[in-house]
Amino acid sequence: MTPGRRSGGRLVRPYVVTEGRSHPSRNTLDLVTLLIAADGPRLTGLSPEKRRLVELCLPGALSVAEVAGHLTLPVSVTKVLVADLMDSGHLVTRAPIPAARPTDTRVLQEVLDGLRGRL
């Protein structure tokens, strides 16, 4: 487990960052879940890690994996922080766009035949 760094260069153990918790309050987070900062709540009173996490998501959406990389924290620790910020209304999550289902080749062949007939 990689320890995190707070401003000033001090090492902080992951269990300190998560206040001793090892599991998020929500089990809906995946590595590719998109995080978006909410407009309403103020950042006052947040830990430095939580504040940085929200600030990272202010310009646009980032995935859980990207945020973990920027914060140099393990993904499990990041998920706990994200769940806390979701509970407090600081973050909104969005499921990634699902992969498209394979298209029926018969339909594609009919489209191709129709295009060839027009040429």
- Which residue type, as a one-letter code, is found at position 2? T
Q: What is the four-CA torsion angle of 5, 14, 75, 41, rounded to 10 degrees? A: -80
- To the nearest whole number, what is the mean pLDDT of the chain? 81
- Overall pTM surpassing 0.75 (yes/no): no
User: Closest Cα to residue 55, out of 39, 42, 37?
Assistant: 37
Q: Range of 55's domain?
A: 4-118
Name the domain count of the chain: 1
pLDDT tens column, 14-51 = 666 666 666 666 677 888 889 999 887 788 888 888 88
Q: Among residues 15, 33, 26, which one has the least CA distance to residue 84?
A: 26
